[in-house]
Structure 1
Amino acid sequence: MKKAVAVILLAFALTGCGEPKIDGSSEQAFQTSMQKVRDSLAEDKRAAFNDAIQVIAFSQVSMKELMQAGSGDEGGRALIDKKIKGALAGKTGEEVIDYAHKIKQERAANQ
């Protein structure tokens, strides 16, 4: 019985030791977790991460939504924020970079 409890506790401890992930639950959590994820990456991966964020963000919104948000439409801004956070939430830095790479490949295949 003690061994089973020890194994379960070890499993829980190891689960929490992974790479940081993006938290989209609130604006503050999102900003804080984005910084933690960025800081967790090797220096040479940070530029790729920043580029990946842009690729993913622009893949989530239409030109119409951008125009609405740009004209001061709060509903449009909220929708864009929700889409971007949804696309990034739960991902590690490497997963964000991989996801952006996949988006680029799909775009290239469609041209």
Structure 2
Amino acid sequence: MKKIIYLFIAVSFSFILTACGEPTIDASSEEAMKASMEEVTKDMTEAEKAQFGTAIMAVMMKIAMENMSDEEKAEEAMKEALDGKTADEIIEMSKQ
């Protein structure tokens, strides 16, 4: 019984810590993507929003160029690349 209680406490703390993190992109659907983009950018300054937008475009262009022959594959690769990422992670991806 103690093991179950300790497991429950550990899982609860992990959920609490996860909730405290930066918002991430949810690319599971178009609506989820739009809502998560708004959440990610809501506390950004205009300069940060511009940097983030440029980073998104750079990542998307890179993926599109890599998958130029298959539009569906490119779209799926973009969703996969952005899903679960924070703004900082996307900005860092754009620099690679």
TM-score normalised per structure 1: 0.67
Quote how far apart the aligned CAs of 1:12 are: 2.2
| C-alpha RMSD of matched pairs (Å) | 2.6
Which 5+ residue runs of structure 2 have no aligned equivalent? Answer: none
Residue 33 (structure 2) pairs with residue 30 (structure 1): yes
1:23-45 superposed Cα distances (whole Å, 9 cap, x missing partner): 111121112112211224x3031
1:64 CA drift (Å): 7.6
Indicate if the aligned counterparts of 1:30 and 1:85 stay in contact, CA closer than 8 A. no
- The structure with the greater share of residues assigned to helix is 1
**1:6 offset after TM fit, Å?**
4.4
Q: CA deviation at 1:63?
A: 8.1
Query: Of 69, 78, 85, which aligns to 1:84?
Result: 78
Q: Which has the larger radius of gyration?
A: 1
% same residue: 31
1:106 corresponding residue in structure 2: none
- CA distance in 2: counterparts of 1:64 and 1:19, whole angstroms: 30
- State how far apart, in whole Å, the 2-side matches of 1:25 and 1:37 are: 15
Q: Is 1:61 aligned with 2:72? A: no
Name the TM-score, length of structure 2 as normaliser: 0.76
Q: Which runs of 4+ in 1 moved over 6 A?
A: none
Aligned CA distance change for structure 1 residues 11 and 84 (closer, same or farther; 3 Å)? closer
SS at match of 1:24: coil
